[in-house]
Amino acid sequence: MDMMTARREAFDAMADIPVGAIAEASLAAATITVHDYGLDGTAVPDKLVETVADLLDRATGPGAAVVEGLSDFFDVGLARNFHEALFRQVWENCASRLGAEQFGRHDRIKVNTTSDGAIPMELYGSEWSFKDLHSDRDALLFSHLYGPVAGFDGGALLLADVCGFMRHHGLRFADLFDWSVEPTPGSKPVLRAEHVPQVLAEAGIDLGAPGPDQIIFVNNFPDAGILHGVTPVAVTDPQRYVREFHRCSVKRTTRSDP
């Protein structure tokens, strides 16, 4: 099954999910601090890995995790190293319990750094990462670490749990979503603008503009129901402007996939 079909069918099924099948945890409960996990250099504490995996698991948590406090221990370069190591260990911990095997036989983890305002137009159709609330098409799990950041207002990260929202209101994919228009093959589910205020009010959270103090993880499995988006940025100081984010993501593939 291709990922667009998997995502549409998963959203359609959310109206029928039995009460108790997913955690009713608020996204506000997703934030933790590394100060509670006894960091020793750049080594990743096992307990931190377990806690993040529990938060991402919809049977036990809200489907997202925000790890704060990094800037008290790391500069941006070391924070990126810690981010990648944490991501790889979290994925190893939670892949089987989140059902990764149904999407293929092999992992492909991608790590890159993106500069907002300089994204290749031919790849993404925009030089900027700002998007309405949506679910990525192929990534099953991703995390971002922002920084350096300077010279702008806006850029708040938004998360929303439409799994519970769709169940509570008896809504299906066609009631809430459109498919994105992409310059490359494939599309992603995008929440229609007229539904954004109600979804954010009932099931969303505004995390503000993230920076190098935070790692944000999102469970992007089709059945997780967690949408993410970023509000537009207004550049206030063109000479100082910078907004970089370090992204780790994973998809399951067959050997023939690129």
CATH number, position 181: 3.60.130
Tell me the whole-structure pTM to 2 decimals: 0.94
For residue 165, being part of any structural domain is answered with yes
Beta bridge partners, 134, equal 190, 228
Sequence-distant (6+) residues with CB within 8 A of 64 are: 27, 30, 55, 56, 159, 216, 217, 218, 219, 226
For residue 22, being part of any structural domain is answered with yes
For residue 234, being part of any structural domain is answered with yes
Range of the domain at 134: 3-253
For residue 258, being part of any structural domain is answered with no
Our count of domains for the chain comes to 1
For residue 110, being part of any structural domain is answered with yes
For residue 35, being part of any structural domain is answered with yes
- Give the span between the Cα atoms of 28 and 39, in whole angstroms: 24
Q: At what angle do helices 196-203 and 162-169 cross, to 10 degrees?
A: 100
For residue 98, being part of any structural domain is answered with yes
For residue 210, being part of any structural domain is answered with yes
Cα separations (Å) of 209 from 12, 27, 166, 219, 228?
Answer: 32, 16, 27, 20, 13
Question: What does the pLDDT profile of the chain (258 residues) look like in tens digits?
Answer: 689 999 999 999 998 887 777 767 789 999 999 999 998 888 999 999 999 999 999 989 999 999 999 999 999 999 999 999 999 999 999 988 888 888 877 889 999 999 998 888 877 778 888 889 999 999 999 999 999 999 999 999 999 999 989 988 999 999 999 999 888 888 999 999 999 999 999 999 999 999 999 999 999 999 999 999 999 999 999 999 999 999 999 998 765 555
Q: What is the DSSP letter of 44?
A: P
